[in-house]
């Protein structure tokens, strides 16, 4: 897991591999201290977001937003928007 910077906001994110749904969910629970709206669907994750249910595919990053919400982001958008600032 790593922290990334969106100029000028620092966010926390983890990449979903398709095989680490338990790790992703534990990370989300650790940040919010409550059970996030995540459903495991084989190699996809369904995440309850402020805009409704979104699906994360392998390779997508799961981002914690500024209001404590979680949402998936495609890797190409993530790489164009964020740069790594700190390794956890």
Q: What is the pLDDT of residues 15-62, one digit of tens each?
A: 999 989 889 988 988 766 555 667 666 688 888 888 899 999 999 999
**CB neighbour list of residue 79: distance below 8 Å, 6 or more residues apart:** none
Position 71 scores a pLDDT of 93
Which of these, 82, 66, 20, lies nearest to 45 by C-alpha position? 20
Q: Taking the model in full, what pTM does it have?
A: 0.77
For 36-40, 58-62, 66-70, 84-88, which range has the lowest pLDDT when averaged over its residues? Answer: 36-40
């Amino acid at each position: 897991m790593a922290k990334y910077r969106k100029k000028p906001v620092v966010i926390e994110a983890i990449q979903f591999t398709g095989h680490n749904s338990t790790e992703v969910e534990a990370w989300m629970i650790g940040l919010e201290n409550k059970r996030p709206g995540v459903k495991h669907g084989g190699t996809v994750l369904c995440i309850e977001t402020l805009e409704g249910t979104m699906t994360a595919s392998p390779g997508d990053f799961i981002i914690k937003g500024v209001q404590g919400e979680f949402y998936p982001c495609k890797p190409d958008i993530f790489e164009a928007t964020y740069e790594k600032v700190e390794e956890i």
